[in-house]
Amino acid sequence: MYGFSVQVSGGFDDAIHKVTEALKAEGFGVLTEIDVKATLKKKIDVDRKPYTILGACNPKLANQALNADPDIGLLLPCNVVVREEDDGAVTVAFMDPNAVLGLVEQAGVEQLAGEVRAKLEKVRDALG
């Protein structure tokens, strides 16, 4: 698998706030916020349930990754998806840094990916 997830209580907007705060507690900031629902409506007139992609970055860990391989930026930031399911439940899904950074064959990147995953798992656990 390339990710892991948790269902959260409360509404969609509340989930965005909760995940942003939980990421912050683990040293991540949200660099980008893509409202997929609004974008698809505007570009191709498709209606979707709420779906947002948050581009999360821990600057210290990102710097270590870039030092290991300058092209690793192609795999950053860590994407976190907040989506409303058909039954109204809200899911928060996290990319698995082990799966993504496993593509990089540089010393130290595997250990770094494990550290990032552990932080994202703490975020997941704080939401659950």
Please tell me the predicted confidence (pLDDT) of residue 49.
97
Domain membership of residue 9 as a residue range = 3-127
pLDDT digits (tens, 9 = 90+) for 23-56: 999 999 999 999 999 999 999 999 999 999 999 9
Two structure tokens written together for 84: 């409303």
First to last CA, the chain: 20
* Global pTM value: 0.94
* Side-chain half-sphere CA neighbours of 6 within 13 A: 17
CATH code of residue 32: 3.30.310.70
CA–CA separation, 80 vs 121, rounded Å? 12
Total number of domains constituting the chain: 1
User: Measured between alpha carbons, how far is 52 from 33 in angstroms, rounded to an integer?
Assistant: 7
Q: Tell me the per-residue pLDDT of 55-111, one tens digit each, with 9 for 90 and over.
A: 999 999 999 999 999 999 999 999 999 999 999 999 999 999 999 887 888 888 899
pLDDT reported for residue 7:
97
Question: 104 versus 15: which is more confidently predicted?
Answer: 15
Q: Please report the pLDDT score of residue 80 as a whole number.
A: 98
